[in-house]
Each structure stands twice: as C-alpha cells, then as structure tokens.
Chain A
Amino acid sequence: MRRWLEWVALLRPGDALTLVLALGVCALSAAMLWRGGAPDKVVVRAGGQVFAEAGLSRAQVIEVPGPLGITRIEIEPGRARVASDPGPRQYCVRQGWLTRSGAVAICAPNEVSLTLAGGASDYDSLNY
C-alpha cells in the first residue's frame, strides 16, 4: 500500500485531469467507432414473402403461421429471437438472441426467417 501511495504522490492535480480526459477519449472513440451494426428493425418472412416488419424499440411477440404450425418470434428492445418453432431440429430457436444488423435465424422446415436490418450491416448479400 505504501509503495502504491509513493507512485500516486508523483501525480500532480492536472495529471488526474489529463488521465480522465484520456479515458474519455478512449470511451468516446469506442462508442463512436464500434457502434456500427446496431439494428433498428426486424423483418419476418414466411414462405419467401415478407410477413411482418417491426421496430426493435418495444417488446412484442409475433406469431407466424407456417406449414408445420406457428413460429413465435419475440422482440425486445435491441434484440430479437425465435422463441418457439415446430421444426424438428430447432436450429433457429437455439441461435438465441440476435443483436447485430444482418443477423438471420432461419426456421427452414416451417419456412420462416427472422432478419435484423438497419444500421450499418456487416454485409447485405452473399453471392456464389
């Protein structure tokens, strides 16, 4: 403890100010540069057609009918997931919450997909 205090004693009042400003620059630059990819909307497709589009600002549940039954999509501020799906393997449910723009959960057996859109998406299409 004494040894730490010895180092702290080398700081002058303005140095603390400088350090606070420096940390502020770190936080600000991280917030500005790493915000990219924040989605603002959800697109739900069923059988290839857009079934619903919803904002990502308020919580709601969308029920989508498909050939196997009903897929429940749950939306919370800033994220969305497939809460339940009648498909046999449950891949889209196990994907969990989607948070990044461009993220997709596809429930192929029930022909339902959930896409987050808006913001700077990481990619907008893939080509083969």
Chain B
Amino acid sequence: MTPSTIEIVPTAEDGRIARLAAAAIVLSIAEAAIPLPLPGVKPGLANIVILIVLLRWGWRDAVWVALLRVFAGSLLLGQFFAPGFFLALAGSVTSLAVLGLAVHLPPRWFGPVTLSVLAAFAHIGGQLVLARVWLVPHDGVFYLVPVFALAATVFGLVNGLVAARLLRELPPLRESGAGASASTVSR
C-alpha cells in the first residue's frame, strides 16, 4: 500500500485534548437524556470538564475542549447546524471569553465556583442575545431571564463545587509537580 503523503502525528497534547473533549461530550449527551421543564435550563455538566481544563492546562486548551464539545456533541445529537447548535456555540464562545478574563482574578479569593457561576451567566447571556437577535426578535425572550439566572446560579455553584473537588483529588501534573493548577492560574 502506498503510504499517505500527509502524515498527522498527534502530539501528547492532542491526545489529552481529545480525551478531555470526549469526557465533555459524554457529559453533554448524558445530560440530553435528562428531562427538563424548560428549554434552555440545563445543568451544563460538560462545563465541569471545561473548568478543570482551564485551571489545570490553561485557557487555550479550554477553548479547544469547549469548541470540540459543541461541534462533536451536536453532531452526535443530530443538532448540527440546528438552532440549538448555534445557541450552544454562542453560549460557549461567550463563556470562554468571560473565563479568559475571570481566570486572572486572584486565585486566593476566587476559586472554581466563581469561574463556574460567571461562565454559567455568560452562557445564558450569549444564548439570550443570539435568541433575541435571530430566533425570537421580540423582547418576550427576556421574560424568562430570572428563571435562567437562578438556574445559572444553582448549576454554576454545583458544577463549580464538583470541579473544585475533582481538581483537589486529581494527581498533580507531572511536568511541573505540585501546585500546577495554581501556576496555570497565575499565568
């Protein structure tokens, strides 16, 4: 057989991002099976993975994992290029932007819970703006803002606590030893 002229050698980093994205995708698919009273109110379990990636490996990796999650997750759920996909993408991009800023908050005072709550609010914010501009061009979409805000607070808190717990129990990174998450944050 003729060997392919293009050879892609995945680095260790590629493999890690793929593994973490797979975990996030599994969580979003498991979550799609949970019946929920309102469209748009979701626990956002995949964000636990995004938070861990952000705090352990930095913002660039978190962007990769989050976007892979949105694209692959919607492909698997049959939502690709459906309105739900664009809403998820808008929410993801907004929350990544907010996380990119919030990660510079002093880690002594602001932990994963703050990041998680801010990301959850950014998520609904991005989705609502897109929904208002594109899907429902009427201010009626904002009628549910209090419900979404409460859901973001509650799920943001829960996801943040889970992420904090997992970060504490994960083994320290090999490359830089103990305190790796702190050093990533302080970058």
Secondary structure at the B interface, as helix, strand, loop or mixed, is helix
Interface residue ranges, B against A (CB under 8 Å): 105-106, 108-114, 117-118, 121, 142-143, 145-146, 149-150, 152-153, 156-157, 160-161, 164-165, 168
B165, chain A: closest CB distance, angstroms: 6
B159, chain A: closest CB distance, angstroms: 12
CB of A88 closer than 8 Å to a CB of B:
no
Secondary structure at the A interface, as helix, strand, loop or mixed, is helix
CB of A7 closer than 8 Å to a CB of B:
yes
List chain A residues, Cβ under 8 A from B161. Answer: 7, 10-11
B142 nearest in chain A by CB position: A33
With A10-B111, A14-B109 known to touch, is A19 a contact of B117 (CB < 8 Å)? yes
A94, chain B: closest CB distance, angstroms: 31
Q: With A and B bound together, what is the CA distance between A14 and B164 in angstroms? A: 14
Identify the stretch in A22-30, A47-55, A79-87 within 8 Å (CB) of chain B at 4 or more residues: A22-30
A20-43 CB contacts (< 8 Å) to partner B: 22-23, 25-26, 29-30, 33-34
Q: With A and B bound together, what is the CA distance between A30 and B142 in angstroms? A: 10
Q: With A and B bound together, what is the CA distance between A46 and B8 in angstroms? A: 86
